[in-house]
A and B are shown apart, each in its own frame.
Chain A
Amino acid sequence: MPNETPDGAALDAARWAALIEAVALRQDRNAFAALFAYFAPRIKTFMLRSGASAQSADELAQEALLAVWSKATLFDPTSAGAAAWIFTIARNLRIDELRRQKRTPTHDTSEVDLEFQVDTGPQPDAGLAAAQLESRVRGALAGLPEEQLQVIELSFFEEKAHAEIAQALHLPLGTVKSRLRLAMNRLRSLLGDFS
């Protein structure tokens, strides 16, 4: 069952949020299984593309889902979308893992989390609710040409971002930069009213 992934399109953002809340409120194992089935295999891909071995990627995906389980009560649907929240968990685990590889492990996993808390205020950006932000970003992404989307996607993996993206896509560096800029400008214009 965990290896069977449900159709992604069927699980929309609201449903993921509801599943996380079911885990938070009732420790609902069926809800957790659904989250695992969808996200664990994708987090594994995320880790593989970030350079992890198959075994390590599998373990990191497991850790990420364990963190989803144990941190579900911290999920605040008014400040983050469900997929974005899970993304940040996977991202922070990836950072932690890279430090382990360099033999400079963090003292505990919350260290990376703390590094992303740039502000002490409880509602630093109350101006833009998560649901609005999420739907605007979704709309913006839907409107992006595939070539811009590709460049944005690759930005999430490559440390030496632009040069390597250019290489992977067989494009001149300048083209990669201009595509990323076009995509970001579009995002900015859609978010502009709020910032």
Chain B
Amino acid sequence: MTISHHPPDELLTAFAAGTLDLGQHVALATHLAGCSHCRTMVRAMEQVGGAVLGRLPPAEMSASAFAAVQARLGERAAAVPAPAVQDLSEQGFRDIAGLPPFVRQYGDSSWKWIAPKVHFRPIELPRPSETRVFLLRSKPGTKMIEHTHTGFEMTCVLSGSFAHDGGHFGPGDFDFGDGSDDHEVVIDSADDCICLVAMQGDLKLQGMIGRLLQPLIRM
């Protein structure tokens, strides 16, 4: 699969730094699951994190800190087993390819009709996140909502494709809307287009689909 749209550098940096909220993290992880190019960049940023850590000025540890840790080394002496690369593929979202394994532990639900040709399926995050995450499935030829963001929106294509004036987006591609643009999205694949969408802020949707979608997305 040829991926031509990647997350902006600041998002890859924030992923490596661990400063994203869980919903944003899920969107980035979904792109990374299919993109070795960006995985390398994240690994490089983790190396940068190591360098940043090594350059920090030391803070004085409490007087008892080392003794306290030493006293606890025994209880950890038995090496922890390598974390089982848990086979989560048999859990949720069985019909959805391309999700990172940990997302399959999250609460699944069925597709809900929200508008002609468009279905919606929330991903229930295990903890509160400012960013909501859901799957969106659209039939070929669907002309999607023209909308203006007041927050941001991250879209990862899992299957199918769409286009808007920012380009053509197929499987693995990552579309980042930072609130500055209006999109008119057209599903241009022969099959359904399934995307994972992470969204923050309110949507101002226009048109009939928008009016239908808006209350649902607010959840």
Interface, chain A (partner B; CB < 8 A)? 1-3, 5, 8, 24, 27, 29, 32-33, 36, 39-46, 48-49, 55, 57-58, 61-62, 65-66, 69-74, 80-88, 90-92, 94-95, 99, 102, 104, 110, 113-120, 124-125, 127-128, 133-134, 136-138, 141, 152-153, 155-159, 161-162, 177, 180-181, 184, 187-188, 191, 194-195
Question: Using a CB-CB cutoff of 8 Å, which residues 63-80 of chain B contact chain A?
Answer: 63, 65-66, 68-70, 72-73, 76-77, 79-80
Contact partners of B50 in chain A: CB under 8 A: 81-87, 134
- Kindly state the separation between the CA atoms of A156 and B53 in the bound complex, as whole angstroms: 9
- Kindly state the separation between the CA atoms of A187 and B40 in the bound complex, as whole angstroms: 11
B10 at the interface (CB under 8 A from A): yes
- Which of chain B's residues has its CB closest to A39's CB? B53
Instruction: Identify B53's interface contact among A86, A128, A136, A195, CB under 8 A.
Output: A86
Question: Nearest chain B CB to A73's CB is how many angstroms away?
Answer: 4
B49 at the interface (CB under 8 A from A): yes
Q: Is the CB of B127 within 8 A of A99?
A: yes
B65-101 vs A, CB cutoff 8 Å, 1 = contact: the mask equals 1101110110011011011011001000000000011
Q: Is the CB of A2 within 8 A of B80?
A: no
A to B CB contacts below 8 Å, 26 in the list? A1-B66, A2-B66, A8-B54, A27-B73, A29-B70, A32-B73, A39-B53, A42-B54, A45-B59, A57-B59, A69-B76, A72-B79, A73-B80, A82-B50, A83-B51, A83-B54, A87-B49, A102-B127, A115-B22, A117-B102, A118-B100, A119-B39, A136-B44, A152-B48, A155-B10, A184-B9
- Which of chain A's residues has its CB closest to B58's CB? A41
Question: Using a CB-CB cutoff of 8 Å, which residues 9-26 of chain B contact chain A?
Answer: 9-10, 13-14, 17-19, 22, 25
Question: Nearest chain B CB to A180's CB is how many angstroms away?
Answer: 6
B92-118 vs A, CB cutoff 8 Å, 1 = contact: the mask equals 000000001110000000000000000
B43 at the interface (CB under 8 A from A): yes
Question: Nearest chain B CB to A55's CB is how many angstroms away?
Answer: 8
Contact partners of B60 in chain A: CB under 8 A: 3, 41
Q: Which of A85, A110, A157, A195 has the most CB of B within 10 A?
A: A195
Instruction: Identify A118's interface contact among B39, B66, B86, CB under 8 A.
Output: B39
Assuming the A-B contacts A91-B18, A99-B127, A120-B101, are A29 and B73 also in contact, with contact meaning beta carbons closer than 8 angstroms in the complex?
Answer: yes
Main secondary structure of the interface of B (DSSP, over half): helix
- Which of chain A's residues has its CB closest to B79's CB? A73
Assuming the A-B contacts A125-B40, A180-B9, are A83 and B53 also in contact, with contact meaning beta carbons closer than 8 angstroms in the complex?
Answer: yes
Interface, chain B (partner A; CB < 8 A)? 9-10, 13-14, 17-19, 22, 25, 29, 32-33, 36-37, 39-41, 43-63, 65-66, 68-70, 72-73, 76-77, 79-80, 82-83, 85-86, 89, 100-102, 127-128
Q: Is the CB of A66 within 8 A of B29?
A: no
Q: Is the CB of A62 within 8 A of B76?
A: no
Q: Is the CB of B40 within 8 A of A127?
A: yes
Contact partners of A73 in chain B: CB under 8 A: 79-80, 82
Question: Nearest chain B CB to A189's CB is how many angstroms away?
Answer: 12
Main secondary structure of the interface of A (DSSP, over half): helix
Question: Nearest chain B CB to A104's CB is how many angstroms away?
Answer: 4
Question: Nearest chain B CB to A190's CB is how many angstroms away?
Answer: 9
Question: Nearest chain B CB to A53's CB is how many angstroms away?
Answer: 12
Question: In the complex, given contacts A65-B69, A120-B85, what are 14 additional A-B residue pairs having Cβ atoms less than 8 angstroms apart?
Answer: A32-B73, A43-B53, A44-B61, A46-B53, A48-B59, A87-B53, A104-B128, A115-B25, A118-B29, A118-B32, A136-B44, A184-B10, A187-B44, A187-B45
